[in-house]
Structure 1
């Protein structure tokens, strides 16, 4: 890797997951987070002195709230390579808030990086792309975007998407309970059903990139059977429309955050 020491500002769920992934791969990493509960910092090396943190880290990952990004970057004492996780904060704001000569990339990872199964979109200074992929590709699918505004759509889909999927899993489990299964049984069945269906689609796409999800859906759907009866209820209750609307609304919210 071009950069010798990675510094992570904000070591909560997202920053902590990135930190521990780097640590497990023997990549030199240090954190800075004066607000982190010490119990959650177990195993992480956190620098308490802001000036010393900057001197030690030559690439910085910003994993803090969007509202804190500009004021944090303005306190940097020298140019840095910067990867920002903050939703809605564009590269123009990142660049103008950083010392002259800094390089910036916006990234939008999602929570499944905690288990090495993330999805991430990125856009910015191409000089940082190789290092970005070295950091994130072991824990996340990484998608290079052709224009920055698409990061809002990534936020709405894969950034917020785990919450939609988890709500869907919970609803499947509740449906099982309503049909007579115990909750624990329903939840396990729902988890394995969702993960298995995703893995099946992924494998089919490896064999044929033109495979459409509907092709696999139709393999489950027999004429006059149980699946078509269930699908009819999803359509009746506008399930596809609700998911599309959720992604679009989250995308809009990401844009709104960038204007504040």
Structure 2
């Protein structure tokens, strides 16, 4: 990506927070709106998955060609990065303020709900050199919590890494569970029953696994409850 392309991409990302989009000096006036393009791209990803998203597919929703979309979003990689930030608006909530675990849990649950609303987000990396404003909002909110509870500077980056990774992993599992129907659940139980029948000493082979209590009796809630338990462990490690 050329320096000019990088600059154009950052302008698009921060268009509502201080940058301005370049308009062509010659030729026809802009016919599309970037927010409307990203709304359509996010809706397509939500409905059909990230595999269905392409500049051609999004452009077709406006009766345009993929080439016509390029001046607005750049290439596909840049469009996906714009989609990630566009879909990642920070919701409003009030931190409990009762303990680090409670405040971190509130952040983690909000981040989880974002990923459940847009399951394709787990397929995109947040580790890019040019984060957008909404991505920065999530990080700043988390850092504000760590700052409020006087978390040592050396522990902040590891804590952030663990929280981001844990939420995204739990969100991916929870999203997969939401696609299960009664047939999927029955097939899983049949597989588990067959394993116990064919490997009768399974518990003896793996005694620690056999003794492991479930996070919750409802497997559908396991990702959420597991996330909350993990957040409590992370918070307990903080001074």
Per the normalisation by structure 2, the TM-score is 0.33
Structure having the larger proportion of residues in strand: 1
Structure having the larger proportion of residues in helix: 2
Whichever of the two has the greater Rg, that structure is: 2
Ranked by relative contact order (alpha carbons within 8 Å, sequence separation 6 or more), the top structure is: 2
Per the normalisation by structure 1, the TM-score is 0.31
